[in-house]
Chains A and B, each alone.
Chain A
Amino acid sequence: MSELKTKIGLEIHTQLNTKSKLFCGCPTAAEEPNAATCEVCLGMPGSKPVVNRKAVEFAVKLALALNCKVPSGCFFSRKTYFYPDMAKNFQITQYEKPIAADGKLAISGKTIQIRRLQLEEDPAAIKYPEGMKFSDYILIDYNRSGVPLCEIVTEPDFTSPAEARKFLEVLQTILEYIGVFDARTGTIRVDANVSVTGHPRVEIKNITGFREVEKALAFEIVRQESHVRRGEASKLIETRFYDPLTKSTELMRAKETEEEYGYIFEPDLTKLEFTKAFVDKIKSELPELPQQKAARFVNQYKITSDEAASIVTELELADVFEKLAKIDAKLAARWISVYLKKVLNFKGLRFKDVGLTERELSTFLKMVKDGEVSQRGGELLLRELILKPQDPQNLAEKLSLLQLAESELKKAVAKVLIENKKAVAAYRTGEQKVLQFMIGQVIRETKGRADAKTVLKFLKEKL
């Protein structure tokens, strides 16, 4: 539809799931607002930051997982701007000497370059009592002030909103694999830079949710295209925000020049040295990453690459697959990648949040493999198990989903044939109609735990 080229770059801020904040000992979360605070994260005069080594390790781990070059050390900087969520009216971030640079990540056959990766403190959270547009005052919760954030800056390598979303999904999987992010407690916020040919770059600030990123970009592209076509493209550098309610972007500010942050080196902190031993140790602790795992699954279990890609999107799912593969790898791959994922996606659930045990799933898979439940019965049973994890055998009985074992069914067929000699004779004289009668008899005999198709097959064999 569009002949205008689109360029998208992302700045992704992911909270790291350390126990304490980046520059003080406060916990990263609390139940009451402003409970997890101290003089450091409140920016009181005289307080000084001290770097949380764990957060640094997490950031280096992520840098290595994203194939970045990790330098021999890094330095923090002060980025100054006045904003009510900033305890000190400057943010401790990185500028000249970030944690790492020059990384790359492949998504669906395309490589996205990562420009830099830096560690910084999260500002406090602003609460708008009457919504962003209508509140005449705001509340500030400093529990978030100082939570470690890792900012990942990509090159403008994306050409569509869908690509950007895909990248974010793959990135989140990696974050979870290496254990530096927990979607239940942490957030990922995205600043998206987008321009279509003939339009200056627009930054859409602070989008939460990958679907929202895709929608915001899609809206913005259409908006820019229509401006370019009408020759009304802005000359200014615009910063916009995305309103999920109206599904549109709105102007925050427009300027002729880039924002001025007056960076200086953070004089309260010293250079962080990364020795080779330190980097090697973290490298050695890196787990098998999703894309490596998928490749191994295809190779080792002879499943399709689509199935593998679907299974590795969640580490817990990949782990359970490997256990189930001992029963029947191909069967396990199909049931996980198709049916299990279908229910999860439909319900918007993550496997690890469902609480289905490996034992329950392997029981289920054995039942499918042994034909104890039919295809349809299996799908039904799995859906119920996801909604309420329990013993599959009991549940199948309760829901009358169990099929008779073949031998049992054959016995029932034999019994019906013996008890209905007239019908058998009639069939042999060419009366096809009696078949229906006999199928009915078998199903009744088995109390409905046999399907008509199998019964028919066995009847024909015997007759």
Chain B
Amino acid sequence: MCTKGLKTTAGSRILENYTPSFDATAVARLKEKGFAVVGKAAMDEFGFGTFSVNTFKVPKNPIDVLRSCGGSSGGPAAIVAASKHIMFALATSTGGSISCPAAFCGVVGLTPTYGAVSRYGLIDYANSLDKVGVISKTVRDAAKVLSIIAGSDEKDSTSLKVEKQDYTKFCGKDIKGLKIGVPKEYFEGVDKAVKENVEAAIEKLRKLGAKVERISLPLTKYALAAYYIIAMSEASTNLAKYCGLRYGSALDLKGNFNEYFSEVREQFFGKEAKRRVLLGTFVRMAGYREQYYLKALKVRRMIIDEFEKAFENYDVIAAPTMPIIAPKFSEIEKLTPAQQYAMDILTVTPNLAGLPHISVPCGFVGKMPVGLHLIGGHLQEGKIIQVADMYERA
């Protein structure tokens, strides 16, 4: 996220020495309220990852340094978990990059509705999915920061015309009678110990007065594929601008334009960035874009519709944030790219649909934290904050 006069790398060596000339809107709004930027945190290169290992400075989980802090906004979660003084960090999510590290590090991760917070100054991963949110120690702090950064911005055409409001007013409100749907698809393939913690958390919500019902969201199984197609299509166009000419890392000028930028990209993009450029370029090529890119857009629409229907009957949907606890780096090394992508299965669906969601810590497996995921309807940040805050207090 661009910080004026302060190096902003997006976790990529291609931007290792890049200093933006302007502040992202979210950063500017915090500065206006007197907040100071104390540092920048590590992340997967351009947000491409689930474990913050796809970058040049890999952050470690403060609870167990042999484990990942999650990704792609791993740095922000790690630092909020580790520091006594840093109460919150801005983070971004495209397919779960706020919730995942929040769950792995045992902190709160709030991802607002797509468009609720301006993306101006956010270095693009996949523009139709990118969201700016908050990682914090408490739900109330997340709500407080959201109140400052949310609201329409004329510099971002996709920002929503939402009234400024104080989201902390949803904290401390009881949840009696609130209807919570628990989709069965979100428990398939989830580690047993994680599942037990989440079930216990849901039971607690019931005891707090919420009406809990089991539901089904059958389109969930298509979300991962649709998400990765859209995200990679957009990512591959966003990364085209990095060609070592006007900013970012450069080489001595040699060869013609094509030869020069190919060499720059070869040297400074990481492996995962290259993979996503290739896949993303493929799925939007003539002859393939119909069956991949355009179809994925249709699937997204259908998934949104399925959620909207669910939210006619339920205030909030509850699920585990991640199917596992933070894995060890040695375990991550053994995963294929497809297995890594599959870790996003639970977070990708609400992200694809642009729904607000929050991960709150809900117990431990050993010493490693587990996250409870609460998903709301579009612009229903208030409801997920209300439930998360009540859960946190109880």
Expressed in whole angstroms, the Cα–Cα distance for A126 and B196 within the complex equals 63
Closest to B21 in A: A39
| Shortest Cβ gap from A373 to chain B (Å) | 61
Given known A263-B284, A264-B293, contact A45–B241 (CB-CB < 8 A): yes
Contact of B241 among A50, A87, A264, A270 (CB under 8 A): A87
Chain A residues within an 8 Å CB radius of B157: 48-51, 268-270
Given known A45-B18, A46-B120, A90-B237, contact A267–B127 (CB-CB < 8 A): yes
Does residue B220 face the partner (Cβ distance < 8 Å to A)? no
Q: Is the interface of B mostly helix, strand, loop or mixed?
A: loop
How many residues belonging to A are interface residues under a CB distance threshold of 8 Å?
Answer: 30
Do A264 and B158 have beta carbons less than 8 Å apart?
A: no
B120-152 vs A, CB cutoff 8 Å, 1 = contact: the mask equals 111110111000000000000000000000000
Does residue B257 face the partner (Cβ distance < 8 Å to A)? yes
Does residue A260 face the partner (Cβ distance < 8 Å to B)? yes
Does residue A42 face the partner (Cβ distance < 8 Å to B)? yes
Given known A88-B241, A262-B237, A267-B127, contact A46–B2 (CB-CB < 8 A): yes
Expressed in whole angstroms, the Cα–Cα distance for A43 and B123 within the complex equals 11
Does residue B90 face the partner (Cβ distance < 8 Å to A)? no
How many residues belonging to B are interface residues under a CB distance threshold of 8 Å?
Answer: 45
B-facing residues in A253-272 (Cβ within 8 Å): 258, 260, 262-265, 267-270
Chain B residues within an 8 Å CB radius of A267: 126-128, 158, 234
Do A48 and B155 have beta carbons less than 8 Å apart?
A: yes
Does residue B322 face the partner (Cβ distance < 8 Å to A)? no
Does residue A82 face the partner (Cβ distance < 8 Å to B)? yes
Contact of B289 among A82, A89, A262 (CB under 8 A): A262
Do A48 and B281 have beta carbons less than 8 Å apart?
A: no
Does residue A67 face the partner (Cβ distance < 8 Å to B)? no
Contact of A45 among B10, B154, B233 (CB under 8 A): B10
Q: Is the interface of A mostly helix, strand, loop or mixed?
A: loop
Contact of A269 among B8, B21, B158, B257 (CB under 8 A): B158
Expressed in whole angstroms, the Cα–Cα distance for A263 and B297 within the complex equals 14
| Shortest Cβ gap from B260 to chain A (Å) | 10
Do B284 and A262 have beta carbons less than 8 Å apart?
A: yes
Do A50 and B257 have beta carbons less than 8 Å apart?
A: no
Contact of A88 among B119, B236, B240, B258 (CB under 8 A): B240
Chain B residues within an 8 Å CB radius of A265: 128, 297
Closest to A96 in B: B294
A-facing residues in B275-306 (Cβ within 8 Å): 281, 284-286, 289, 293, 297
Do B286 and A260 have beta carbons less than 8 Å apart?
A: yes
| Shortest Cβ gap from B119 to chain A (Å) | 7
| 5 tightest Cβ-Cβ pairs between the two chains A and B | A89-B240, A267-B127, A267-B128, A46-B2, A262-B284
A sample of 17 cross-chain residue pairs with beta-carbon separation below 8 angstroms, ordered by A number, consists of A45-B2, A45-B8, A45-B10, A45-B18, A45-B123, A46-B24, A46-B122, A49-B157, A50-B157, A82-B261, A84-B245, A89-B240, A90-B240, A262-B236, A264-B293, A268-B124, A268-B157
Spell out B's residues near A (CB within 8 Å): 1-2, 8, 10, 15, 18, 20-22, 24, 119-124, 126-128, 154-158, 233-234, 236-237, 240-241, 243, 245-248, 257-258, 261, 281, 284-286, 289, 293, 297
